[in-house]
Copies of this chain bind each other. A is one copy, B any other.
Amino acid sequence: MPWSRFDSNYEAPAGARDITYCAAIREAIDQAMCLDPRVFCIGLDADDKFGVFGSMSNLTHPERVLGTPISENAMTGVALGAALSGMRPIHVHLRNDFLLVAMDQIANYVAKWQDMFDHQVKVPLVIRSIIGRGWGCGAQHSQSLHGLFAQIPGLKVVMPSSPYDVKGLMLSAVKDDSPVLFLEHRWLYKNTGNVPEAMYTLPIGKAATLRRGGSLTVVATSLAAIHALKACEQQELDVDLIDPRTIKPLDLDTILASVHRTGRLLVVDYDFPFAGFASEVVAAVCERAHESLRQPPQRLCFPDRGMPSSGRLERAYYPTPERIGELMRQMILGSSIDADSFVN
């Protein structure tokens, strides 16, 4: 089994090259495909000249990159059938909104197959999807559906924020014998960071602490984590910023340890607010660290409605580093925020 020679290591090393988030994904996929002939990529427009926003350009094994018709549901079943037959497919989608077309396969088939047969079979299937937003794409092309998919037992949901994480976690996802939903925010693609050239994996289910502080625990993933980090830096806030990296399984231990220290919790989640990932984090923390919380926990999410198109409305719809910073500051000052803006 070619995958066994990896070490698990989740501390970003120093001294490696700086490459983009996009290049880190590409490198992980290329290395996985070179290492293991069972790995192949499939997806609508996966094989075209755009190379999935560059994340699959010039791969060493183009013969294992398969384009498909607009048939996301059946293609997910095809990927599953191939995974059950010993392959390790990476099924890629240009926008996560299209995953809803494949929901029957994802939720009824992919996620349940192992449970239904008491884990006699492996389902080494990665479903990659890019989260996009902005430029008036509107309600059907701007969602971030990690909260929806995290509800479904049997799916791991990974959404890395840095080039280092995205490479290590992509390799872990491909190596994993259970289905992994891998979500990449388009706005992270050009970010650069330190990424070793050699293959490495990062554990699925282990958070990263992006900033240490003592007054407020902030939980945020993907683009939200980067925005929160920016807000902390801009406003020099004493924040313990945790990026769970994999939202399911969730590294609750790291979050709880932080809340026990800070006594305050804010979850910034770029997703719908009702029964989403932020709800889960708040609920799980309150169940386990009620006594530690000095003030009510808070969530910052999208408004509970579909995305508007006009730039003016888009810019108001999505949280910004400024809004995150403002909320963090208020929480640290202990002032109470009207929670009613988060839930209808």
Contact = CB atoms under 8 A, between A and B. Distances in A.
A297 B296 CA distance: 13
A154 B306 contact: yes
A148 interface: yes
Q: Which of A148, A286, A290, A339 has the most CB of B within 10 A?
A: A286
A274 B286 contact: no
A190 to B, nearest CB: 28
A295 B154 CA distance: 31
B343 A306 contact: no
A308 to B, nearest CB: 8
A18 interface: no
A316 to B, nearest CB: 14
Contacts of A151: 147-148, 151, 272, 274-276
Interface in A250-277: 250, 252, 272, 274-277
Interface string A225-256: 00000000000000000000000111010000
Contacts of A303: 153
B107 A104 contact: no
Contacts of A275: 147, 150-151, 275-277, 279-280
A283 interface: yes
Interface stretch (A46-54, A59-67, A83-91, A111-119): A111-119
Contacts of A343: 250, 252, 280, 284
Interface stretch (A21-29, A95-103, A195-203, A322-330): A95-103
A162 interface: no
A343 B297 CA distance: 19
Nearest to A306: B115
A300 to B, nearest CB: 11
Contacts of A339: 284, 287-288
Given A151-B151, A153-B272, A153-B305, A290 B287 contact: no
Given A116-B138, A151-B274, A250-B274, 18 more contacts: A103-B107, A108-B140, A115-B139, A116-B139, A151-B275, A154-B305, A249-B344, A252-B343, A279-B284, A280-B343, A282-B283, A282-B286, A282-B287, A284-B339, A284-B343, A287-B342, A288-B340, A291-B296
